[in-house]
A and B are shown apart, each in its own frame.
Chain A
Amino acid sequence: MTQPGIFELLSFGPGGWGNILLAGATMTILIALSGYATGAVIGVLGVWAKVRGGAGTRLVADVYTTVLRGIPDLLVIYLLYFGGSAAITAIGHLFGAEGFIGFPGFLAGTLAVGITSGAQHTEVFRGAFRAVHPGEIEAAIACGMPRWLRFRRIVAPLTLRHALPGLGNVWQVVLKESALVSITGVAELLRQAQIAAGSTGLPFDFYLIAGGIYLAISTVSSAVLHRAERHFSRGVRRS
């Protein structure tokens, strides 16, 4: 038997793994995007709690960011996957279902990625909010803008602009973290590479290909982020 070349492995026809890997890459991007969005929502809530909250909410937000930055992401995935399954099974039993009901891996993955990246989002937003010059908010008050208008027109756009580089870093972390979701059996890129490696007996080739695809996704997204940064910093004086 001759070894198939890399182009045969990647071809889209029969015997090729191209479409399966492409589906995996799409799933990886979907998990990363939904996890990132979840994290961004948590981050907004977190920074609101840290900046505007009372002592109680501030404490909750501080504990959240400290804990989530100190424990492995894998542990969070295990918690949500197994904990979610246990909870759903218990609820199922209440309604008369029998046996074990699995928690959907996609949901567990999205939540896990969201909860861990939420801590990073919080810190990025907080740093960016601090970078907003008090004079700009003062000027908005002087113009008679009500609170919500001030937030929508001044605080939010300025904070986002300052947060953009940090948000880009968080995105790269989230993209790589999404590979951990493969342990729940979700058919994302690494899981598909695992399946392909198992059935062809070519683990090195397929993990290398998977690594290459991750590298491509992160390179393209960093180029996009870089352009976005330039676009939104048009009004910033450089020197």
Chain B
Amino acid sequence: MDWTFLQETFVSLVSAVPLTLLLAANSIALGAILAVGIAVARFSAIAPLRWLAQAYVFVFRGTPLLVQIFIIYYGLSQFPAIRHSLLWPVLREPYWCAVLALALNTAAYASEIIRGGLLSVPFGQVEAARACGMSRFMIFRRITLPLGVRQALPGYGNEMISMVKATSLASIITLMEVTGVAARIISESYRAIEVFVVAGAIYLTINFLLTRLVQFVEFRLSPHLRQPVAVLPAIIQGEAH
């Protein structure tokens, strides 16, 4: 076992973790906003809007993410109109191309998860909100969305993990995140197994922490499933005396 090599590899890979996290966080955040929009569009009363959302999900779930990245990073520069537009300083950067592709991709998957969550909200809850005189938007904001998100959270956690894994594809368009650095070290040293073990351990740690975070949020969001605190009866009994 060559400990110095492992240590050096670990140090260089850890220094690439911030970029991986940044890519994941940005694309998940952007994707989540887009996903809610698409999920709502799928319930829209306007048929073309529904079709558009459906087509979006079909296309982005049916093609490889790498193809989507290539279309955005290499493909868009084909058009002089885009090269001379205001967007070019953003679309020229591999970082923003990767974020954009990852966000558009995760939005398609996440919108289906959110749609499932929204569908699972019991109608009685909406009915009660209507009886309270809430407007349609307020019902969505206060009742449907929070309850739907809570239902969708476990599935959404899995999607977040696959996004962390998907950030590795950014290495193909020259971004030096964890997989990119790992590939560079492997091609320089030809010690694939050691580098793989270190990089794999880093990804597993990130995903483990992410899983725990999602579990914690889920715990906080579902107080109704928890046992009432055991101290409570004792206090009530104490008061009775």
Query: Is B203 in the interface zone, CB < 8 Å from A?
Result: yes
Is there contact, CB below 8 Å, between B67 and A71?
A: no
In the complex, what distance in Å separates the CA atom of A115 from the CA atom of B113? 27
Residue A82 CB within 8 A of the other chain: yes
Main secondary structure of the interface of A (DSSP, over half): helix
Nearest B-chain residue to A203, judged by Cβ: B74
B179 touches A207 (CB 8 A): no
Name B's A-contacting residues (CB within 8 A). 58-59, 62-68, 70-71, 74-79, 161, 165-169, 171-172, 179, 182-183, 186-187, 190-193, 196, 199-200, 203-204, 207-208
Instruction: Find chain B residues with CB under 8 A from A71 CB.
Output: 165, 199-200, 203-204
Closest to A100 in B: B190
The answer to whether A79 touches B193 (Cβ under 8 A) is: yes
Give the chain A neighbours of B67 by CB distance below 8 A: 179, 190, 193, 207, 210-211, 214
Cβ of A86 under 8 Å from chain B: yes
The reply to whether B182 and A70 form a contact with Cβ atoms under 8 Å apart is no
Q: Is A156 an interface residue (CB 8 A)?
A: no
Complex interface residues of chain A between 167 and 189 (CB less than 8 A to chain B): 172, 175-180, 182-183
Residue with the greatest number of chain B CB neighbours at <10 A, chosen from A177, A193, A215 = A215
Instruction: Known A67-B204, A73-B165; judge A82-B187 contact (CB<8 A).
Output: yes
List the B side residues contacting A218 at CB < 8 Å. 62-63
Partner of B78, one of A83, A190, A203: A203
Contact between A74 and B168, CB atoms less than 8 A apart: yes
Contact among A72, A86, A172, A178 with B168 in the assembled complex (CB-CB below 8 Å): A72
A45 at the A/B interface (Cβ < 8 Å)?
A: no
CB contacts (< 8 Å) of B171 on chain A: these are 74
Q: Give the distance to chain B from A42, nearest Cβ to Cβ, in Å.
A: 18
A176 CB to nearest chain B CB (Å): 4
B179, A78: Cβ atoms under 8 Å?
Answer: yes
Are A82 and B200 also in contact (CB < 8 A) when A204-B78, A208-B75 are?
no
* Chain A residues within an 8 Å CB radius of B75: 203-204, 207-208
Contacting residues, chain B, for A176 (C-beta < 8 A): 63-65
At the interface, yes or no: A11 with Cβ under 8 Å from chain B? no
Residue A202 at the chain B interface, CB threshold 8 Å: yes
Q: How far is the CA of A72 from the CA of B200 in the complex (A)?
A: 8
